[in-house]
Structures are given as structure tokens and as C-alpha cells.
Amino acid sequence: MAASLGLRGAASGLWFWSGRQRPAARLAAVCSRSMASKTPVGFIGLGNMGNPMAKNLIKHGYPLILYDVFPDACKEFQEAGEQVESSPADVAEKADRIITMLPTSMNSVEVYSGANGILKKVKKGSLLIDSSTIDPSVSKQLAKEVEKMGAVFMDAPVSGGVGAARSGNLTFMVGGVEDEFAAAQTLLGCMGSNVIYCGAVGTGQAAKICNNMLLAISMIGTAEAMNLGIRSGLDPKLLAKILNMSSGRCWSSDTYNPVPGVMDGVPSSNNYQGGFGTTLMAKDLGLAQDSATSTKSPILLGSLAHQIYRMMCAKGYSKKDFSSVFQYLREEETF
């Protein structure tokens, strides 16, 4: 697979602890706590999101059995004493609860159904939770394949970004058999502050796709408003302050502002590195477009947002955070 099994970027190795200990040493200290009551959990996909999610499971006392297509992603965990396997199948052989965090539908299909996939060695009764954002139809197909093997599949995509992944404040949108939700909630609650049951398999993905479509639209709107205000002579910090105490306030303006220098600790103030990539936003908007077509739902602004992010990918923004739409609008004089 050409893509990482996790979202990669500058933020993937950051920690919140203070002091001069190496990350592996700090992680080892967490691992050394009493874990007698916790059985190992499999985790596949250790990129920008998967890395801190796995660390939060460790903080809550769960030993991990890990895999990522990029071996370096597993190195700090291995140095801290966690078990690393050479394939998803090997993870499934040793863990009966597995969480996957992958970039695309293709990656999820490969990890579950591929030649060395989870289904090759999955144990009956296993709980498989996919926190990737993928096509709901793919989640439904995977659930059928998993069910044939006597295991349980749930889709549980997340919202909140890398910051929430680090702090353990993600929102999980869960689809699957309701009787299994409590078991999933036990694990997901270690990584998120909100774990919401949405309905049958695929409904978690549907909720996530709707959320990300709205996020893209609001980010573009915030970028346009900020650009207009700056070109009209307003100081960007002042304009952001006004927006955030007025009816135009939204997450893109008050938590993830796209204008460099307005906020600290966000990708816009780090040359749009880390965070949620433009390529992935374009992918999610494509999923929204597909769902809109299949349900005959008009998404006029969603379709336009999809085209904007596709153009950004074609013009060199693919590896930048999706808030770089502000930079794109600033540089494009043809609009």
C-alpha cells in the first residue's frame, strides 16, 4: 500500500509530558503499572491519529499487540515493551479485540480481507472496531465477512482531530449490533469523551461523513471571511475575536483558525503541517458525494467544497492541513 496505515505528519511524535525523558522511556513507565485485569488489545494503524489513540489505551492499562505497514511507526511502542507483529493476521491470532485506524476504504479492505489480513486468523467471538473513515458500503461488506467468521465488526469513526486524540477527548460514532456496544464503549471510552451509538453497521460512517462535509464547508467559509476582512483592512486577530463572539462563530474560527498567527498550537501557525490532510478531506468529501448520489440528496455546498479541495490537491496542497484553504484563497487571484 502506498499510503500509510495511519495519518502521518509532523504531529505524530509529540507528547504532553514534561521533562527530558525520551518518549519510549515515558511510555515504558506507563506500561509498568499494574495491568493484571486487562487483556491485550490489538491496534493496527499508528499514524497521526492511531499513535496517540494507542497511547491512551496504554495509559488505561491495556497491553497492546501492534501493527503498522511502516515498521518505524511501531518502534517507540516496541522499545516500551509492547508487542509488535508482522501482519494484521498475526495481530488477530493473538488478540480478540482489535481496533483499526486507517486512511482509506482500500486500506481497510486490505487489512481485513487481504492475503495477510485479520480474517485469515481471526478468532470466533472477536470484536473488531474500525475507526477509519471509509465508505459506509465497505463497512457493511466487511461486517458480513467478519460475521461469517463468527466475529463482530463495528464501525466507529472519530471526530476531534489530532489534539483530541492526544488528550483522549475524541468523539466516536459507532455503528453495529447494539448488544455489542457496551463492549466497544469500554475500549473507546479510554480514547474519547463521547462514544455515541448511531445504529446498524455503516451509520457511524454516515454520521462522520456528514460531520466532515459540514467541517469542510465551515472551514472554507471561515477562510473566505478572514481573507475578506484582512483585505478590507481588519487585523486578523481582531476579526477572529469579533467572529467568535458573534453569530458567525464555529469550530473552524474559534478552535482551528486557518489564518497563520491568530492561534497557537494549530496547523496554520506551523506552516499547515500536521493535523488533518487536504487529501483526506478531499477523500471524505468524495464519500459524501457518493452517499448523496445513492440517497438522491442535494449537497450543493458539499459538492463545491469537494471540488475546491480536489483543486487544492492538484496545486500542491495535498500534504498540508485542510485549513490551508486560507492560503489557497490568498494565492489564487482568479476567483
Report whether 257 belongs to an annotated binding site. no
Report whether 44 belongs to an annotated binding site. yes
Report whether 304 belongs to an annotated binding site. no
Q: Which of 120, 140, 144, 208 is catalytic?
A: 208
Distance of alpha carbon 168 from alpha carbon 148, whole angstroms:
33
Contact predicate 66/82, CB 8 Å = yes
C-alpha cell at 167: 488528550
Report whether 116 belongs to an annotated binding site. no
Report whether 244 belongs to an annotated binding site. no
Contact predicate 175/151, CB 8 Å = no
Contact predicate 230/257, CB 8 Å = no
Report whether 63 belongs to an annotated binding site. yes
Residue in this structure with the C-alpha cell 481588519, named with its chain if needed:
234
Report whether 48 belongs to an annotated binding site. yes
Q: Cβ contacts of residue 14 below 8 Å, gap of 6+?
A: 166
C-alpha cell at 91: 495481530
Report whether 217 belongs to an annotated binding site. no
Report whether 197 belongs to an annotated binding site. no
Distance of alpha carbon 115 from alpha carbon 227, whole angstroms:
49
Give, to the nearest 10 degrees, the angle between helix 300-312 and helix 203-231.
70
Report whether 49 belongs to an annotated binding site. yes
Is 208 annotated as catalytic? Answer: yes
Report whether 168 belongs to an annotated binding site. no
Nearest to 43 by CA among 1, 82, 2, 4: 82
Return the amino acid letter for 191. Answer: M
Report whether 169 belongs to an annotated binding site. no
Report whether 114 belongs to an annotated binding site. no
Report whether 211 belongs to an annotated binding site. no
Q: Read out DSSP for 39-87?
A: --EEEE--STTHHHHHHHHHHTT--EEEE-SSGGGGHHHHHTT-EE-SS
Report whether 41 belongs to an annotated binding site. yes
Buried b (16+ CB within 10 A) or exposed e, 248-263: eebbbbeebbbbbebb
In sequence order, the β-bridge partners of residue 2 are: none
Report whether 58 belongs to an annotated binding site. yes
Annotated binding site for NAD(+): 39-67, 102-103, 107, 133, 283
Active site amino acids: 208
Annotated binding site: 39-67, 102-103, 107, 133, 283
